[in-house]
Amino acid sequence: MRRSLSAAVLASLSAFALAACSIGGSGGGSAEGSGTVVSYNTPQEWANWDDVLKQFTESTGIEAPNDPKNSGQTLAALTAEKESPAADVAYYGIVFGMQAQDEGLVEPYKPEGFDDVDEDLKDPEGNWTAVHQGAVAMLVNTKELGDVEVPKCWNDLTDPKYKDKVGYLDPAQAAVGYSVLTGANLALGGSLDDFKPGLEWAEKMADNGVKNPAQTATSSVQQGEIPILIDADFNGYQLAAEDSPIEVVYPCEGTLSIPYTMSLVKSGPNGDNGKKLLDYVLSDEAQKLFAESYLKPVKDIELPESAQEAFPSDEEYNKLVKGTDFDKMNEVQDGVIEEFQKVTG
């Protein structure tokens, strides 16, 4: 086993256990073929899940409601409901997918298109498979920032002129938040064995009034409540496409790619429908829908013209955006989050 559940996930279990009790008896495959698939962590406003699930329903006739959880809440819910699962599939950052596998919450399934996904973006047995990727970036509301210059680098954000103007999701609860912390650490000279640079940056950010919401916060940067949100790049490109005054900035020191994965929940109530949804998200149709919201597909498909125009050149993107040893990133998460909470608390 790579590691145990994170402290943040364990702290959430009591609430989800109560919820699970209220739906007891829904697991074990008893509702197979019900005409519904239950997915966790598929918010309407995130990654074009609204259109993806609507198109899945149109194509298959299977109802697929959205779900507002984040990665940490999804893992906590799956854990609380382990004996009587309520979900059929789960979507989360790659580190959380690894944890779900470690805890026996998911079961192997290789969707159609599995062989087209790079080896480092999937579990060999199919316990989790990446469905798209983003990258950590600064989403800057240039209108709200006014005469203050747009930041270009990680260390710029610790400047007092950005006090109370910056936010990123809580690393203890959200995959993108932990990716922000990891990305800053690696870019500032740290490693997965040495998070000192990233933790020092996080401490300076806390002293500078950074906000750490638990949930998707793109509306906050759009409305100017958080003028600079460090988040997934695709959220910024989507806001800009909607005519919001958002500039997407990849930090000058470099940044981290964010693979998002999906799994088949072990003994979910609608397992066959769950498999159909996993097949669908790796189809060319779904990959193009994700790409329309500026996510990098995990299959070799042509990007929509809008995405091609928004993204920097491949040379520039690949120079700044790097992957890492995500398995090691998973292993060290507990200790990193504990230290993060100490220095920012």
Residue 21 reports pLDDT greater than 80 = no
Residue 148 reports pLDDT greater than 80 = yes
Residue 135 reports pLDDT greater than 70 = yes
User: How far, in Å, CA of 48 to CA of 46, rounded?
Assistant: 6
pLDDT at 6: 52
In terms of residues, how long is the chain?
Answer: 345
Using an 8 Å Cβ cutoff, are 42 and 53 in contact? Answer: yes
| Residue-wise pLDDT tens digits, 102-127 | 999 999 999 999 999 999 999 999 99
Question: What's 85's domain CATH number?
Answer: 3.40.190.10
Pair (122, 200) in one structural domain: no
User: How far, in Å, CA of 282 to CA of 56, rounded?
Assistant: 12
Asked if residue 317 is part of any domain, the answer here is no
Asked if residue 158 is part of any domain, the answer here is yes
CA atoms within 13 A on the CB side of 49: 23
Pair (334, 201) in one structural domain: yes
Rounded mean pLDDT, 5-33:
41
Asked if residue 313 is part of any domain, the answer here is no
Alpha helices in the chain (DSSP H): 7-22, 49-60, 71-80, 94-102, 142-145, 175-187, 196-207, 218-223, 233-241, 271-281, 284-292, 305-310, 314-320, 326-331, 333-344
pLDDT at 216: 79
229 Rama class: left (phi>0) / alpha (psi -120 to 50) / beta = beta
Pair (26, 174) in one structural domain: no
Using an 8 Å Cβ cutoff, are 178 and 337 in contact? Answer: yes
Asked if residue 45 is part of any domain, the answer here is yes
Q: What is the count of structural domains for the chain?
A: 2
Residue 35 reports pLDDT greater than 70 = yes
CA distances in angstroms from 321 to 93, 220, 228, 273, 296, listed in the order given: 17, 25, 19, 35, 12
Pair (253, 269) in one structural domain: no
Pair (75, 142) in one structural domain: no
In percent, the amount of the chain with pLDDT more than 90 equals 86
Using an 8 Å Cβ cutoff, are 77 and 22 in contact? Answer: no
Do the strands 321-322 and 255-265 form a parallel or antiparallel pair, or are they unpaired? parallel
pLDDT at 45: 85
Pair (99, 196) in one structural domain: no
Pair (124, 138) in one structural domain: no
181 token code pair: 């912390």
Domain span at residue 36 reads 7-129+262-308
Using an 8 Å Cβ cutoff, are 48 and 14 in contact? Answer: no
215 pLDDT band, cuts 50/70/90, is confident
Pair (176, 275) in one structural domain: no
Asked if residue 12 is part of any domain, the answer here is yes
**Residue in the block written with tokens 């074990």:** 28
**Residue in the block written with tokens 């790409």:** 291
13 pLDDT band, cuts 50/70/90, is very low
Pair (65, 174) in one structural domain: no
CA distances in angstroms from 261 to 41, 190, 241, 290, listed in the order given: 11, 26, 25, 13
Asked if residue 316 is part of any domain, the answer here is no
Pair (13, 100) in one structural domain: yes
Pair (247, 270) in one structural domain: no
| Residue-wise pLDDT tens digits, 154-209 | 999 999 999 999 999 999 988 899 999 999 999 999 999 999 999 999 999 999 99
Pair (198, 229) in one structural domain: yes
| Residue-wise pLDDT tens digits, 291-312 | 999 999 999 999 999 999 999 9
In percent, the amount of the chain with pLDDT more than 70 equals 90
Asked if residue 318 is part of any domain, the answer here is no
The pTM assigned to this predicted structure is 0.84
Angle between the N-to-C axes of helices 7-22 and 71-80, in degrees from 0 to 180, rounded to the nearest 10: 50
